[in-house]
């Protein structure tokens, strides 16, 4: 495009030089020749402009085609990236689940044999379908769930001393309850005593 414009300007300079040179050509003929030269220059300039416009349009067309081709190539890459990120999230979730299960399995083999003195509580399951009553013992600002298993005698003794201070003997274990909050897990520790014996406390008033 720059070459065409430079050629047009060169022609204009040539015409100017021709006009500025003295001669013996009659005035009428000189004007006719000048008009013809100017007309020829105008036509050449128009031709240059048309070629320049054609080159510009061709460049824009090729650029548009190139961009469209790049977008076509980019789309599969974006889809592949999204798929890999999804697989990574799923693997992270599975890994976290395996870690939690391993911790829970390990906890099953850990316990402390304890004697706990505290106040016996019973949380009724009335109004809840297929739910058992929950037994707890409160001690020192803490609480632990009580598991009597299939021992009906211990359960009957507990029924008699609800709200009283008692002494419980058994194995103390902990459990972790995981609650999902958007992008993280919140762990809650709870205590459970597998009861072997239960008696009324005699060291403190009821």
Average pLDDT over residues 33-40: 84
| Residues 122, 60 share a domain | no
* The predicted structure's pLDDT at residue 41: 87
Domain that holds residue 8: 2-64
118/193 same-domain check: yes
For the chain, where are the E strands, in sequence order? 112-123, 134-139, 142-147, 165-181, 184-200
Residue 204 has pLDDT above 60, yes or no: no
> How far is 177 from 189, CA to CA, in rounded Å?
6
Prediction pTM value: 0.43
Q: Which one of 15-24, 29-38, 78-87 scores highest in mean pLDDT?
A: 78-87
Task: Check: CB of residue 176 under 8 Å from CB of residue 186.
Answer: no
For residue 17, pLDDT over 80 is answered with no
pLDDT tens digits for range 188-197: 567 889 999 9
Of 107 and 114, which is predicted with more confidence?
114
Domain count for the chain: 2
Confidence check: pLDDT of 89 > 90? yes
Summarised one tens digit per residue, pLDDT across range 173-186 is 876 655 554 444 44
- With CA atoms as reference, report the closest residue to 190 among 128, 133, 159, 146: 146
Confidence of residue 56 (pLDDT cuts 50, 70, 90): very high
Task: Assign residue 145 the CATH number of its domain.
Answer: 2.40.50
Q: Which residues contact 158 (CB under 8 A, 6 or more apart)?
A: 120, 122, 135, 146, 148, 166, 198
| pLDDT interval class at 162 (50, 70, 90) | very high
**Residue 106, in any domain of the structure:** no
78 occurs within a structural domain? no
């Amino acid at each position: 495009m720059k070459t065409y414009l430079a050629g047009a300007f060169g022609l204009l300079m040539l015409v100017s030089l021709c006009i500025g040179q003295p001669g013996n050509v009659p005035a009428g003929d000189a004007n006719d020749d000048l008009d013809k030269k100017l007309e020829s220059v105008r036509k050449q300039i128009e031709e240059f402009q048309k070629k320049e416009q054609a080159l510009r349009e061709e460049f824009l067309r090729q650029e548009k085609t190139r961009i469209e081709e790049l977008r076509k190539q980019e789309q599969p890459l974006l889809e592949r990236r999204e798929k890999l990120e999804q697989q990574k999230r799923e693997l992270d979730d599975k890994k976290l689940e395996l870690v939690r299960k391993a911790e829970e399995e390990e906890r099953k083999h850990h316990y402390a044999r304890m004697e706990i003195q505290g106040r016996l509580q019973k949380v009724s399951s009335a109004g809840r379908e297929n739910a058992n009553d929950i037994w707890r013992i409160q001690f020192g600002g803490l609480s632990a769930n009580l598991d009597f298993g299939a021992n009906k005698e211990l359960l009957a003794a507990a029924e008699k001393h609800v709200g009283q201070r008692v002494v419980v003997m058994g194995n103390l274990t902990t459990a972790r309850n995981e609650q999902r909050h958007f992008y993280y897990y919140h762990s809650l520790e709870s205590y459970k005593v597998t009861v072997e014996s239960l008696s009324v406390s005699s060291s403190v008033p009821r």
